[in-house]
Structure 1
Amino acid sequence: MDKKIAIFSDIHGNVSALQAVLDDIDRDPQIEHIYCLGDLIGIGYETNEVLDLLRSRKDISYVMGNHDEAILDVISGRDIYSRGAEREHHKWLAARLDPKFISFLQEIPTSLQTNYNEKELLCVHYHLQEPKKFLTVDKEPTEQKLDEFYHSSTADIVCFGHHHVIHHFKTKNRLYLNPGALGCNHKPYAPYAILIIAENGATNVSFREVPYDNETFLLGYKKYNVPDADYILKVFHGNQHLNL
């Protein structure tokens, strides 16, 4: 029997984008499970709203993202990777995280593996140099570089996020898939991917962009005095707020 799953990544505290994608997924009864590839929170400010929506579902599996980890590190008093304005942003978000979500975040694994129709699926937020250390983003990925990094992996399909653009590489060894950033886009669209693994092991990938109203979300960065708002609105949202 064919297996159909949805994959999204990098929600980044944007609950309206998340809701739009979940509504789109729910319109397809053949989708049997959802995989979220990390960075549930961070950058966007709707931390508790996103976590409340995610935790209300029983059909999503998660892996830990760097922003999720950074905010947990702040709460635990550990040193965090971020510096300067990004560190202040993480501290601001951590101070506003409802404590009831801490255990939920702490239980998220760094990677997960599962199997559909004899195809092994590996989910990570990004390529792991060691159990909890992500590689620096490769802005010019190639099939050859990905195969070299995963040469010892038994996975047939590797799903990752972190780099906010779509990746779709197919080599003789495996399929590599990045669905793009659900919550950070220069247009009012929220992307995700659908993966079908046929009974005979053949794979089919489709990418969707779900339109949604992002006006309230974008204007909220200034309304709530989110640290580093100007930088975030420019780099992660393409200054769309200037046209509202």
Structure 2
Amino acid sequence: MFAVLADIHGNAPALQAVLYEIDNRKDIEHIYSLGDMIAIGPDTNAVLELLFSRDDISMITGNHDEAVLAIIKGEPHPLSHPHVKEHHEWIAKGMDKKFISKLDELPRFIRKDMLGHSVYFTHYHVEDKKIDAHISDDPYARIVQPSLENMEKLFGPQDVDLICFGHHHPVHFFKGAHTTYLNPGSLGCAEDSVARYAVVTIEVNEIQVELVEAPYDNTEFLLSYEKLKVPTRNFILKAFHGNQLKRSE
């Protein structure tokens, strides 16, 4: 049994709530974090400390992680993301240097065989010709709306039983004839005070998926955007957190 986390996006209290639930269950053997651990939210160092301090988590990079790393290393930033460059620069400036090499060593993909089932972990689909492309070349496919038909078209023929991914923040859970597609939804970005993740049970004859929402108090986290003067904070709070503070006024 393993847990799947995606798109933590610099939200430490959301991650803490999920890890607390996972640890209290005592039946989850491993955790997979599917990229975009940082950016959008301001808690870069707290999130990375929580993740890298554990020995039961495997991580892959996402587009935000790679774009921030590109800035730190003096490499090109994606031309398709000019609207987030200032924000990424702010994140890069505040990142503890001890995490740079750790992030840079993470893979883009993980493949595992579990009890005869093949499982593929990725942030989102990447075409074969862009497998090793730099983030400035926009290797990740354009987002498509959640449906089984769209997932099958997006990922194409795959000799795997389960594809776990993130990037698009809504939950995706579709069972095709040969492949199950799972996106647990963004852990750190939601319109309510919940952190989403999934628990997967692999058995010889089936794959079971439990979609979970961990409640947490996100008030101080949302207030921290203004306190820290996070670049593009008004847009972020509206687009990724549903203007929760204004809704509560």
TM-score by shorter chain over 0.5: yes
Q: Distance between the aligned counterparts of 1:83 and 1:166, measured in 2?
A: 24
Considering only aligned residues, what root-mean-square deviation do their CA atoms show, in Å?
A: 1.2
Q: Where do 1:1-244 residues align within 5 Å? A: 4-81=1-78, 83-129=81-127, 130-131=130-131, 132=133, 133-139=139-145, 141-198=146-203, 200-242=204-246, 243=248
Distance 2:157 2:50 in 1: 37
Residue 64 (structure 1) shift:
0.7
Cα distance in structure 2, aligned partners of 1:119 and 1:76? 38
> In the TM superposition, what is the alpha-carbon distance from 1:144 to its structure 2 partner?
2.7
1:147–1:173: 8 Å Cα contact kept in structure 2? no
Alpha-carbon distance in structure 1 between the residues aligned to 2:210 and 2:157: 27
Give the ranges of 4+ consecutive aligned residues of structure 1 lying more than 4 Å apart after TM superposition.
Answer: none
Identity %: 44
Q: Which runs of 5+ in 2 are unaligned?
A: 134-138
Q: 2-side partners of 1:184 and 1:148: how far apart?
A: 26
Give the 3-state SS of the residue equivalent to 1:169 in structure 2.
Answer: strand
**Structure 1 residue 152: Cα displacement:** 3.7
Amino acid aligned to 2:141: L
Q: Which consecutive residues of structure 1, in runs of 5 or more, have no partner in the other structure?
A: none
| Superposed CA offset, 1:139-175 (max 9, x none) | 2x33233224434422110000000000001011110
Residue 114 of structure 1: CA displacement? Answer: 0.6
Q: What one-letter code is carried by the residue in structure 2 that aligns with 1:137?
A: I
1:9 touches 1:37 (CA, 8 Å); kept in 2?
yes
Question: Structure 1 CA distance, aligned partners of 2:152 and 2:194?
Answer: 31
Displacement of 1:241 after TM fit? 1.6
Matches of 1:149 and 1:96, distance apart in 2: 35
* Closer/same/farther in 2, CA of residues 77 and 154 from structure 1, 3 Å limit: same
Offset at 1:68? 0.2
Normalised by the length of structure 2, the TM-score is 0.93
Secondary structure of the 1:134 match is: coil
Counterpart contact for 2:144–2:150, Cα < 8 Å: no
8 A Cα contact 2:147 2:172, kept in partner? no
SS in structure 1 opposite 2:25? coil
Q: 1-side partners of 2:60 and 2:52: how far apart?
A: 14
CA offsets 1:171-204 (integer angstroms, 9 cap, x no match): 1111000000000010000010011111x23011
The one-letter code matched in structure 2 to 1:180 is G
